[in-house]
C-alpha cells in the first residue's frame, strides 16, 4: 500500500505563522483591559518573611493591586501534580532563590516594575541546604513541613521518596571484574527562548487562563480545584509554546495570576524574564554511584545503581522523574541481577521538573560510562561489549515488563558504521559510543475529534501541545492520508479546553502514538460513516465496500471520499464527525503505574578532539541513530533528534548553575549561563533512524524526540577518554574541567575521584 | 529618580511605513515595536543582547533591539520580520525556512530571518562557517541550527527565487 | 528600567558642556550594549543620558593620514574589523574587534565605549596597548592625548576626568614590519566574554610586545627587547622564562564565575606561548610578501 503523506516531509503546519511573525505566543496576546504583573522575590534562598510593607508600592500611579499571602485564602491553597505542596504565594517562608512573596498588577509594565521594587520585605535568612550532602545531614533543616506527608516515615528527613527496583541477587552474583565509580550530573535549566507567560481574565461566572503550558487539561484540573469552579467554567487557552522541553508541563504561576485577576476584577498578565525562568524550572541534578559486574567475556553480571537526585523545594513532578527515570537505569541490556535505589532529595533550590529525558540522562551518564570502563578493563572493544549485552527484540530485559520492542542492535551497528568505528583515528582524537533507553508513557488518554466538512476539507481537534516538535503536522498528515484531503485543506485546532476534547498531557514523546492513534481512530470512524453512505447510495451491503486511505472501493469501481460525501450529504449539506480515544489504563501493581507503551532507544557515537593545552573539546563527528518504528515526517524526526543531540551537548560541555554559599544563583541570565550557539555545533552531524514498523503508533510508529539526548554525555566522555586517557565523571566537561583532569595523573579503573 | 512621564516624539520608518510617535525615553526599540506599534513578531527573551530573539534591522544593520533605546532610532529605517514578505509573498528566505524545516517552536525564527537577510545582503554566497558565524548571535534552543544553515545556503545558491 | 533625561547634543562642545554640568549624574551613550544593560539592572541610575551619536566631530570614520590611523569615537566594532587600514596595519586589532559579541553587538558597540568601560576583559585593549594607541579626549579645558598605557586604572575606571569624553583613538602606523595576533579563552566557541584576552606582536628588530587582560584589574603591557621571544629558533625554556616574568603581575580574580585563577594563569601561559609562535609566523609571512 503506497502512502501519499505518511513518510513524507510536507512543510510544517503552523510554519507560516512562525516565519512571518504572525504566530501569537502568550506574550503577544494582549487583552484590552489587561494589567501587567511583576513578581516580588528576595535576594536570598531560604528566608523567614518577617513583614511585608506594601504601602509605598500601592501608591505608585497605575498600580491596582499588590497581593501577598495575607490576601489569599487561609489556609494557603497549595497545588502540585504529585503533592499539593506548593503554595500559591510563599507564606511565612521562602524556600528557594526566586520564590515569590508578592505580585504587583499595574496599568503599565513600568509601574509594575517600580512598585515591585518598592515593596518592602523584612526577612531573615535561614539555614538552608543546596546539595545532596547537606540535605542528608542528620542536622539539616527540613525543606518540607513534615505535616505535608503525615504517614510517611521519611517525613522527618529531606528524602521525599525512595524508589527501589531490582531482580536477581546482586550480592550473590559472581563477577570477574567489578567497576565502581561515583558520577555527578549538574543542575541545568531549560532555557526555552520563550520565557513562561501567563494571563488570567475573569469571565462571567468563570475564568479564562492563557498559559505557555504543555498540559492544558491538567492545568484546568488544578485551577478548577484551587478556584472551586467547575471544569466547564475554567477555560484554558494554550497557544503553541516557544519551546517547552518539559519546563512548561506543569502549573507554576497560573494560580497566582488567576487569584490576582479575580481579586482585581480585570485580566492580569505575567511574563517572566529569562532570569526568572532559571529560578522557576530546572532539571534534577544527580549523584550516582554505580557498581557494574562483568564476567570475563564482557557479559553483564550485575548492575548496582544508587542515584540521589537533588530536586527542589517543591515536588512539582520531580519525584516522578526520579522514579520513572531510574527505572530502566540498568540499561537496554540483559542483566541477571539488578538493584536500583533512587532517591528524591529535597533542597532549597528551584523546583526541578520534567526535562527532556525525564531522569534518564542522569543515570545513563553513569551507567554507560561504567560500561566503557569495564570494556577497557577487560580488553574488550567498547562497541562489542554493548552488542554482547544488548537486549534483543522480545527480551524481557526488565522482568515482567514491556519487552524490548526494537532491533536495537541494528541502531548500534549503524551508528558504529557511521562513525567509522574500526577506522584509524587521527592524532589527538578519540571515539566513544553509548546507548540510551527511556520508557514511553505508562498511562495515557487522548481524545480527538475530526470533522469532515462538506467540501472534503477537514478540521482536527487534538489537545496536544505543539511546542516545535511538529504535532500539528503529524496529525494533518494522518488525516490527509486517511481521508484523502489535501494537506492545505486541513485545519488543526489545539490549545483551547472549551473546544478541544481532553488530552491528558504532552510528554514522554507520546503524542504521535497516543494522540496519533486517537486521530486515526476518529478518521476510521469517519471512514465507516462513508462506507455506510456509499452502501446507502448504491444500494449495496456494507460488507462489499472498503474505505482505506481516502479511497472508497466498491465492487465495480473506486471513488474518492469526496465523491461519496457530496451526494451522501445531499441538499442539506452538513458534515461527518468522528471521535477517537486512545487510552492506556493504569496498572496499579506496576511500579511505574503502568508498563511503558514503547521504548525510545538511541545509539550515539562521537569522535572528538581534545586540545591538551586548553581543555577544549571539539566534536568532530556526532552520530545519532534512533529506533523510531516509522518516521511519519522524516524531516521533523531528524530535527528532533538533532535538536535533542545539541541540547545534550549543552549539559555535556557547558551548562551548569553556579551558586554562592547562600544558595543564590550567580549565573542568572544568558551572559553567564552558556548554551550552544551555531558556532558550537559538531563539525559534522549524522542522524539516522531505524524504521522497522514495530511501534504501537499509527503506521508502526513509536514516540521519539528524547532518545537522542540520553547518552550524549557518556559518548562524549568516552571519546575524551579515548583521546586523552583520562576519565572524567562530573559534568559538564567545560574546558577548564577537562584541563584540570588533564593535569592529574592518568588513573586506573576503580573508584573515581570527583573533580570540583 | 522615577520620572516615568519623560517622553519624546520620534519618527521611524518601520517596514517601509513612516510612523510618528511619542515614546518614553527609557523604552527600548523592542518595547516600542511590540507595545506601541503592536508588531509582536519581534520577541523578547534575554534582554542582555545574547539571544538575538529581538533582532531587527536598523538602517540596514542588524541590532539587538532590546539594547537600543527607541529614541536612538529616531530617523532610522527599521525592518522587522513583518516586513519581509512583500505583497503577501514570502521572501525567499522565509520560503526556504519553511522548505528546509528551519523553524521548530518558531520563537527564535523572526530574529534568525532578519539576521540571515542581513548576512546575505552583505555576503550573497557565504560559506557554512560564515553562515554559522553570521547567525551566532541568534540562539535556538530547539537546536535547528543545521536546518537554518541549510535554508540560508539554499537561498544563496538561488534555490528560492 | 527607570527613566532619565535624554540629551542628544549635535556638537562636541555641547556634549562637553552637558557632561561638565551634570557630572556623575550623567552617563554617555554610544553603542549602548553595556549601558542599556546597566540601566535595566539598576547598576547605573543616571539623571541624564547623553547620546553621542549625532555629534559631527565624533563621526565613525577611520582614516589614515601621515602615518597615523585615526579611529573616530563613533566607530563600531564591525567597522573596525572591516576597515582596510586597520586590517593592513593592525591585524590583531581587527581580529579582536571581530570577536566582540555577535554581529548584532558589533554593529552597535563602539571601540571607544569598550575602552571607556574599562572592563579588564575588554578584547580591544590588548591590541591597542601593543600597537601603542593614543586616546584623544576632549573636556572643558580642551583636547589632550593620553597614551593608552596611562589610560586604564582598574575595572570600570580610566584616567579620563569625569567631564572628559573620548573623541578618537589614534594609532601610529608601525615603523617596523611586524606580525601580530589576538587570542582569547572563552567557555564556548560561540560569542562569550573572555577569561583571558591577549595580544602579541613581534617585530623585525626582535622586540616582542605582549598585552593581556582579564587576569587582573586592568590590562597589562609587557615588552621584551632581548630578542629571545621573537627568535624563531629560540629555546622553549628561555621563552617560557621570559613569559613567566611578563605574567608575574597577573592577579586573576578569585571570585570570577568564568574561570578560576589557576586556569586563567595556566591559559595565560598557553595562549602567550601560542601567540608568540603565531606572531613570529606572521612576521615571516610579512617579510616573505615583501621580498
Would you say A253 and A159 are in contact if contact means Cβ atoms under 8 Å apart? no
Q: Specify whether A518 is located in the same domain as A616.
A: no
Neighbours of A743 (CB within 10 A): 11
Euclidean distance between the first and the last CA atom of chain C, given in angstroms as a whole number: 59
Which residues, other chains included, contact A688 with Cβ-Cβ below 8 Å and sequence gap of 6+? A414, A418, A624, A625, A626
Q: What percent of chain A has pLDDT over 90?
A: 96
Asked if A658 contacts A665 with a C-beta cutoff of 8 angstroms, the reply is: yes
Contacts of A19 in chain B (CB under 8 A): 81, 90, 94, 97-98, 103, 106, 109, 113
Contact, A278 vs A669, CB < 8 A?
yes
Q: Mutate which of C2, C39, C190, C255 to disrupt the A interface (most A C-beta within 10 Å)? A: C190
C8 contact B CB<8A: yes
pLDDT, residue C288, reads 83
Q: Closest chain B residue to C79 measured between Cα atoms? A: B61
Chosen from C76, C77, C102 to mutate, greatest number of chain B CBs within 10 A = C102
Exposure letters A521-541 (e unless 16+ CB within 10 A, then b):
bbbbbbbebbbebbbeebeee
Interface list for A 634-653 with B (CB within 8 A): 635-636, 639-640, 642-647
Q: Quick check: is A402 in a domain?
A: yes
Using an 8 Å CB-CB cutoff, list chain C residues near A672. Answer: 257-258
Closest to A433 (Cα-Cα) out of A715, A98, A91: A715
A155-199 pLDDT, tens digit per residue, is 999 999 999 999 999 999 999 999 999 999 999 999 999 999 999
Q: Give me the number of domains chain A comprises.
A: 3
> Is beta strand C196-203 parallel, antiparallel or unpaired with respect to C178-185?
antiparallel
Q: Is the pLDDT of residue B2 over 60?
A: no
Which residue numbers in chain C have pLDDT < 70? 290-291
Asked if A755 and A728 count as a contact pair (C-beta separation under 8 A), the reply is yes
In chain B, CATH 1.10.150.120 covers 92-156
Do residues A504 and A637 share a domain?
no
Confidence at A2, pLDDT banded by 50, 70, 90: low
C190 contacts A680? CB cut-off 8 A: yes
CB contact under 8 A, A18 and B103: yes
CA distance B28 to chain C (A): 9
pLDDT (average), residues A403-428: 97
Which pLDDT belongs to residue C154? 94
Q: State whether A450 and A507 are in the same domain.
A: yes
Q: Based on the fold, state whether residues A60 and A198 are members of the same structural domain.
A: yes
Identify the closest residue of chain B to C42 by CA–CA distance: B1
In a domain, A274, yes or no: yes
d(CA A317, CA A324): 11
CB contact under 8 A, B139 and A241: no
pLDDT in tens, A93-135: 999 999 999 999 999 999 999 999 999 999 999 999 999 999 9
Q: Are residues A73 and A116 in the same domain?
A: yes
Cα separations (Å) of A79 from A101, A252, A254, A345, A419?
16, 9, 11, 19, 48
Q: Which residues contact B89 (CB under 8 A, 6 or more apart)?
A: none
DSSP character at residue B78: E
The answer on A391 and A489 residing in a single domain is no
What pTM did the predictor assign?
A: 0.97
Task: Count CB pairs under 8 A between chains A and B.
Answer: 171
Subunits next to A (3 or more Cβ pairs <8 Å) are: B, C
In this structure, the answer to whether residues A578 and A602 fall within a common structural domain is no
- Condensed to tens digits (0 to 9), the pLDDT of residues A49-102 reads 999 999 999 999 999 999 999 999 999 999 999 999 999 999 999 999 999 999
Q: How far is residue A488's CA from residue A508's CA, in Å, rounded to a whole number?
A: 29
Q: Region of C238 please: left (phi>0), alpha (psi -120 to 50) or beta.
A: alpha
Rounded CA separation C45/C29 (Å): 13
A736–C188 C-beta distance less than 8 A? no
- If asked whether residues A224 and A198 sit together in one domain, one would say yes
Residue in A708, A707, A727, A725 with CA at minimum distance from that of residue A717: A727
- In chain B, residues with a C-beta closer than 8 Å to the C-beta of A241 are 105
Distance from CA of B78 to the nearest CA of A (A): 15
Q: Do A459 and A536 belong to one domain? A: yes
Q: Considering only residues 61 to 100 of chain B, which have any Cβ-Cβ distance to chain C shorter than 8 Å?
A: 61-64, 66-69, 71-72
Q: Name the domain boundary from A518, A552, A584.
A: A584
d(CA A1, CA A3): 6
Tell me whether C52 touches chain B (CB under 8 Å).
no
Q: Does A40 touch chain B (CB under 8 A)?
A: no
CA dist A328 and A338 (Å) reads 10
Radius of gyration, CA atoms only, chain A: 27
Task: Mutation target for A interface from B99, B107, B127, B144: give the one with most A CBs within 10 A.
Answer: B107
Residues A519 and A645 in one domain: no
SS3 C175: coil
Indicate whether A388 belongs to any domain.
yes
Q: Provide the edge-to-edge strand list for the sheet that holds C62-65.
A: C62-65, C68-72, C165-172, C134-139, C142-147
- The verdict on residue A340 lying in a domain is no
Q: Over range A659-664, report the average pLDDT.
A: 89
Identify which of C2, C185, C188 has the shortest CB distance to residue A614: C185
pLDDT at B4 over 80: no
| Local confidence band at A3 (pLDDT 50, 70, 90 cut-offs) | confident
Neighboring chains of C (3 or more beta-carbon pairs < 8 A): A, B
- Residue to test with chain C: of A674, A678, A744, most C Cβ within 10 A: A674
- Residues from chain C that touch A110, judged by Cβ atoms under 8 A, are 3
Would you tell me which residues 181-210 of chain A have a C-beta closer than 8 angstroms to some C-beta of chain B? 190-195
Whether residue C89 contacts residue C282, with contact meaning beta carbons closer than 8 Å, is answered with: no
- From CA A397, how far away is CA A384, in angstroms rounded? 19
pLDDT reported for residue B160: 63
Q: What three-state secondary structure class fits A644?
A: helix
How many contiguous H segments (helices) and E segments (strands) does chain C have? 10, 14
Residue C257: which of A667, A680, A740 has the nearest Cβ? Answer: A667
For residue range A541-586, what is the model confidence (pLDDT) as tens digits? 999 999 999 999 999 999 999 999 999 999 999 999 999 999 999 9
Q: What angle do CA C268, C271, C272 make, to 5 degrees?
A: 75
Identify whether residues A516 and A632 lie together within a single domain.
Answer: no
In angstroms and rounded to an integer, the radius of gyration of the C-alpha atoms of chain C is: 19
The CATH number given to whatever domain includes residue A470 is: 3.30.365.10
d(CA B104, CA C184): 34
> Residue A148's pLDDT is what?
85
A672 inside 8 A of chain C by CB? yes
Mean pLDDT for chain A? 96
User: Do A452 and A386 belong to one domain?
Assistant: no
A753 pLDDT more than 80:
no
Q: Which of A531, A551, A584 corresponds to the end of one domain?
A: A584
Residue B67 to residue C36, Cβ atoms within 8 A: yes
Domain with CATH 3.10.20.30 in chain B: 7-83
Residue A282 confidence (pLDDT) above 70: yes
Per the DSSP assignment, residues forming a β-bridge with B7 are B24
Assess whether pLDDT exceeds 80 at residue A748: no
> Is A625 in a helix, a strand, or coil?
strand
* Residue A579: strand, helix, or coil: strand
User: Which of the four CATH numbers 3.40.50.150, 3.20.20.70, 1.10.287.470, 1.10.150.120 does domain B92-156 have?
Assistant: 1.10.150.120
Q: Give domain status of residue A291, yes or no.
A: no
pLDDT at position A750 is 36
- Do β-strands A617-627 and C134-139 pair in parallel, antiparallel, or remain unpaired? unpaired
Q: How far apart are CA B145 and CA B105, in angstroms?
A: 13
Report how far residue A443's alpha carbon sits from residue A521's, in angstroms, rounded to the nearest whole number.
18
Q: Is C7 on the interface with B (CB under 8 A)?
A: no
Q: CA-CA distance, A134 to A121, in Å (whole number)?
A: 28
Q: For residue B62, what are the β-bridge partners? A: B57
Range of the domain at A599: 360-440+595-753
* Chain A neighbors of B98, CB-CB under 8 A: 11-12, 15-16, 19
- CATH classification of the domain holding A51: 3.90.1170.50
**Percentage helix, strand, coil for chain A under 3-state DSSP, each rounded to 5:** 30, 25, 45
Burial A164-196 (b: 16+ CB within 10 A, else e): ebbebebeebebebbbbbbbbbbbbbbbbbbbb
CA dihedral A416, A421, A422, A424 (to 10 degrees): 160
Q: CA of C268: how far to CAs of A716, C195, C200, C216, C221, in Å?
A: 27, 10, 12, 12, 13
Q: Measured between CA atoms, how close is C187 to chain A, in angstroms?
A: 7
Cβ distance C103 to B136 less than 8 Å, yes or no, reads yes
- Minimal C-alpha gap between C175 and chain A (Å): 34
Round to whole Å and give the CA distance between A676 and A654: 8
Across the interface, whether the CB atoms of A676 and C260 are under 8 A apart is answered no
Q: Which of A613, A669, A675, A738 to mutate to probe the C interface, most C CBs <10 Å?
A: A613
Contacts of B90 in chain A (CB under 8 A): 16, 19-20
Instruction: Give B7-83's CATH code, choosing from 1.10.240.10, 3.10.20.30, 3.40.50.2300, 3.30.9.10.
Output: 3.10.20.30
DSSP labels, A70-92: GGS-SSPPEE-SSSS-EESS--S
- Give the per-residue pLDDT at B1: 35
Amino acid at each position: 500500500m503506497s502512502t501519499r503523506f505518511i513518510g513524507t516531509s510536507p512543510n510544517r503546519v503552523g510554519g507560516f505563522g512562525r516565519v512571518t511573525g504572525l504566530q501569537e505566543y502568550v506574550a503577544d496576546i494582549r487583552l484590552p483591559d489587561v494589567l501587567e504583573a511583576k513578581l516580588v522575590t528576595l535576594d536570598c534562598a531560604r528566608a523567614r518573611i518577617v513583614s511585608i510593607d506594601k504601602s509605598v508600592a500601592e501608591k505608585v500611579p497605575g498600580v491596582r493591586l499588590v497581593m501577598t499571602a495575607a490576601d489569599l485564602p487561609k489556609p494557603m491553597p497549595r497545588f502540585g501534580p504529585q503533592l499539593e505542596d506548593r503554595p500559591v504565594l510563599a507564606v511565612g517562608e521562602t524556600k528557594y532563590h526566586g520564590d515569590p512573596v508578592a505580585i504587583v498588577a499595574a496599568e503599565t509594565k513600568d509601574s509594575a516594575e517600580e512598585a515591585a521594587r518598592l515593596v518592602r520585605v523584612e526577612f531573615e535568612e535561614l539555614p538552608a541546604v543546596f546539595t545532596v550532602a547537606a540535605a542528608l545531614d542528620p542536622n539539616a533543616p527540613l525543606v518540607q513541613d513534615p505535616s505535608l506527608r503525615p504517614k510517611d516515615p521519611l517525613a522527618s528527613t529531606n528524602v521525599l521518596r525512595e524508589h527501589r527496583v531490582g531482580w536477581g541477587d546482586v550480592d550473590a552474583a559472581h563477577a570477574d571484574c567489578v567497576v565502581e565509580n561515583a558520577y555527578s550530573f549538574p543542575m541545568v535549566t531549560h532555557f526555552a527562548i520563550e520565557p513562561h507567560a501567563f494571563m488570567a481574565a475573569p469571565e462571567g461566572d468563570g475564568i479564562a487562563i492563557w498559559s505557555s503550558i504543555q498540559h492544558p487539561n491538567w492545568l484546568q484540573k488544578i485551577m478548577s480545584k484551587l478556584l472551586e469552579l467547575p471544569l466547564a467554567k475554567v477555560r484554558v487557552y494554550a497557544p503553541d509554546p516557544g519551546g517547552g522541553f518539559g519546563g512548561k508541563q506543569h502549573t507554576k504561576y497560573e494560580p497566582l495570576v488567576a487569584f490576582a485577576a479575580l481579586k482585581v476584577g480585570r485580566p492580569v498578565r505575567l511574563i517572566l524574564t529569562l532570569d526568572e525562568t532559571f529560578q522557576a524550572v530546572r532539571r534534577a541534578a544527580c549523584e550516582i554511584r554505580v557498581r557494574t559486574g562483568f564476567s570475563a567475556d564482557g557479559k553483564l553480571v550485575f548492575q548496582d545503581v544508587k542515584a540521589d537526585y537533588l530536586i527542589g523545594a517543591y515536588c512539582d513532578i520531580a519525584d516522578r522523574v526520579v522514579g520513572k527515570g531510574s527505572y530502566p537505569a540498568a540499561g537496554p541490556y540483559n542483566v541477571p541481577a539488578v538493584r536500583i535505589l533512587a532517591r528524591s532529595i529535597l533542597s532549597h533550590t528551584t523546583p526541578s521538573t520534567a526535562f527532556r529525558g525525564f531522569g534518564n540522562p542522569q543515570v545513563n551518564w553513569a551507567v554507560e560510562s561504567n560500561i566503557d570502563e569495564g570494556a577497557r578493563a577487560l580488553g574488550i572493544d567498547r562497541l562489542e561489549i554493548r552488542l554482547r549485552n544488548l537486549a534483543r527484540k522480545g527480551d524481557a530485559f526488565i522482568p515482567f515488563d514491556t519487552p524490548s520492542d526494537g532491533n536495537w542492535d541494528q541502531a548500534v551497528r549503524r551508528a558504529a558504521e557511521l562513525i567509522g568505528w574500526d577506522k584509524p583515528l587521527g592524532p589527538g582524537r578519540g571515539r566513544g559510543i553509548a546507548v540510551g533507553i527511556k520508557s514511553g508513557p505508562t498511562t495515557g488518554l487522548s481524545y480527538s475529534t475530526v470533522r469532515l466538512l462538506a467540501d472534503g476539507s477537514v478540521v482536527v481537534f487534538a489537545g496536544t501541545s505543539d511546542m516545535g516538535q511538529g504535532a500539528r503536522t503529524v496529525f494533518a498528515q494522518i488525516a490527509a492520508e486517511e481521508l484523502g484531503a489535501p494537506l492545505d485543506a486541513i485545519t488543526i485546532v489545539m490549545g483551547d479546553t472549551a473546544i478541544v476534547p481532553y488530552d491528558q498531557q504532552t510528554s514522554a514523546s507520546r503524542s504521535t502514538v497516543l494522540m496519533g492513534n486517537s486521530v486515526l481512530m476518529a478518521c476510521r470512524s469517519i471512514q465507516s460513516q462513508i462506507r455506510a453512505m456509499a452502501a446507502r447510495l448504491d444500494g449495496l451491503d456494507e460488507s462489499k465496500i472498503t474505505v482505506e486511505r481516502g479511497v472508497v472501493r466498491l465492487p465495480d469501481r473506486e471513488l474518492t471520499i469526496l465523491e461519496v460525501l457530496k451526494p451522501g450529504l445531499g441538499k442539506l449539506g452538513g458534515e461527518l464527525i468522528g471521535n477517537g480515544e486512545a487510552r492506556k489504563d493504569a496498572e496499579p501493581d506496576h511500579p511505574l503505574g503502568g508498563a511503558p507503551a514503547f521504548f525510545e532507544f538511541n545509539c550515539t557515537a562521537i569522535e572528538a578532539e581534545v586540545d591538551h593545552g586548553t581543555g577544549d573539546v571539539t566534536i568532530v563527528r556526532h552520530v545519532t541513530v534512533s529506533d523510531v518504528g516509522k518516521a511519519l515526517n522524516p524531516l521533523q524526526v531528524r530535527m528532533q533528534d538533532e535538536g535533542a543531540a545539541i541540547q545534550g551537548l549543552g549539559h555535556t560541555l557547558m551548562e551548569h548553575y553556579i551558586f554562592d554559599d547562600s544558595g543564590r544563583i550567580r549565573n542568572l541570565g544568558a551572559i553567564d549561563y552558556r548554551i550552544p550557539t551555531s558556532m558550537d555545533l559538531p563539525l559534522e552531524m549524522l542522524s539516522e533512524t531505524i524504521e522497522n514498523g514495530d511501534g504501537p503508533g499509527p503506521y508502526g510508529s513509536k514516540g521519539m524526540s528524547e532518545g537522542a539526548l540520553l547518552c550524549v554525555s557518556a559518548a562524549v566522555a568516552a571519546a575524551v577518554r579515548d583521546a586523552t586517557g583520562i576519565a572524567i565523571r562530573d559534568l559538564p566537561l567545560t574546558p577548564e574541567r577537562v584541563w584540570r583532569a588533564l593535569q592529574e595523573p592518568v588513573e586506573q579503573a576503580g573508584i573515581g575521584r570527583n573533580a570540583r | 529618580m522615577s520620572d516615568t512621564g519623560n517622553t519624546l516624539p520620534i519618527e521611524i520608518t518601520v517596514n517601509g511605513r513612516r510612523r510618528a510617535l511619542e515614546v518614553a525615553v527609557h523604552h527600548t526599540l523592542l518595547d516600542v515595536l511590540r507595545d506601541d506599534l503592536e508588531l509582536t513578531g519581534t520577541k523578547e527573551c534575554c534582554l542582555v543582547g545574547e539571544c538575538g530573539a529581538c533582532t531587527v534591522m536598523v538602517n540596514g544593520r542588524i541590532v539587538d533591539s532590546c539594547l537600543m533605546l527607541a529614541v536612538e532610532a529616531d530617523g532610522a529605517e527599521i525592518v522587522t520580520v513583518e516586513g519581509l514578505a512583500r505583497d503577501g509573498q514570502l521572501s525567499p528566505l522565509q520560503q526556504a525556512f519553511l522548505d528546509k524545516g528551519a523553524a521548530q517552536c518558531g520563537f527564535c525564527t523572526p530574529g534568525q530571518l532578519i539576521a540571515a537577510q542581513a548576512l546575505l545582503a552583505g555576503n550573497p554566497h557565504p560559506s557554512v562557517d560564515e553562515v554559522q558565524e553570521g547567525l551566532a548571535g541568534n540562539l535556538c534552543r530547539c537546536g535547528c541550527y543545521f536546518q537554518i544553515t541549510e535554508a540560508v545556503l539554499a537561498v544563496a545558491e538561488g534555490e528560492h527565487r | 528600567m527607570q527613566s532619565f533625561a535624554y540629551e542628544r547634543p549635535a556638537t562636541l562642545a555641547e556634549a562637553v558642556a552637558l557632561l561638565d554640568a551634570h557630572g556623575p549624574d550623567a552617563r554617555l551613550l554610544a553603542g549602548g550594549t553595556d549601558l542599556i544593560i546597566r540601566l535595566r539592572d539598576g547598576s547605573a541610575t543616571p539623571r541624564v543620558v547623553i547620546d553621542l551619536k549625532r555629534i559631527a566631530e565624533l563621526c565613525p570614520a577611520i582614516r589614515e593620514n601621515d602615518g597615523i590611523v585615526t579611529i573616530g569615537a563613533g566607530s563600531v566594532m564591525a567597522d573596525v574589523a572591516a576597515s582596510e587600514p586597520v586590517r593592513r596595519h593592525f591585524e590583531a586589532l581587527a581580529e579582536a574587534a571581530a570577536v566582540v559579541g555577535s554581529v548584532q553587538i558589533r554593529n552597535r558597540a563602539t571601540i571607544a565605549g569598550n575602552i571607556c568601560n574599562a572592563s579588564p576583559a575588554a578584547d580591544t585593549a590588548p591590541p591597542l596597548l601593543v600597537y601603542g594607541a593614543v586616546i584623544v579626549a576632549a573636556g572643558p579645558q580642551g583636547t589632550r592625548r593620553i597614551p593608552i598605557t596611562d589610560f586604564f586604572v582598574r575595572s570600570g575606571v580610566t584616567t579620563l576626568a569625569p567631564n572628559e569624553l573620548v573623541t578618537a583613538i589614534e594609532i601610529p602606523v608601525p615603523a617596523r614590519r611586524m606580525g601580530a595576533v589576538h587570542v582569547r579563552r572563552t567557555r564556548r566557541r560561540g560569542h562569550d566574554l573572555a577569561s583571558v584576552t591577549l595580544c602579541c606582536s613581534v617585530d623585525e628588530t626582535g622586540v616582542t610586545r605582549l598585552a593581556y587582560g582579564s587576569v587582573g584589574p586592568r590590562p597589562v603591557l609587557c615588552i621584551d627587547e632581548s630578542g629571545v621571544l621573537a627568535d624563531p629558533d629560540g629555546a622553549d625554556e628561555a621563552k617560557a622564562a621570559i613569559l613567566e616574568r611578563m605574567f608575574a603581575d597577573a592577579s586573576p580574580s578569585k571570585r570570577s564565575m568564568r574561570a578560576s585563577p589557576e586556569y586563567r594563569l595556566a591559559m595565560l601561559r598557553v595562549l602567550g606561548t601560542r601567540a608568540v609562535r603565531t606572531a613570529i609566523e606572521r612576521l615571516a609571512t610579512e617579510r616573505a610578501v615583501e621580498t
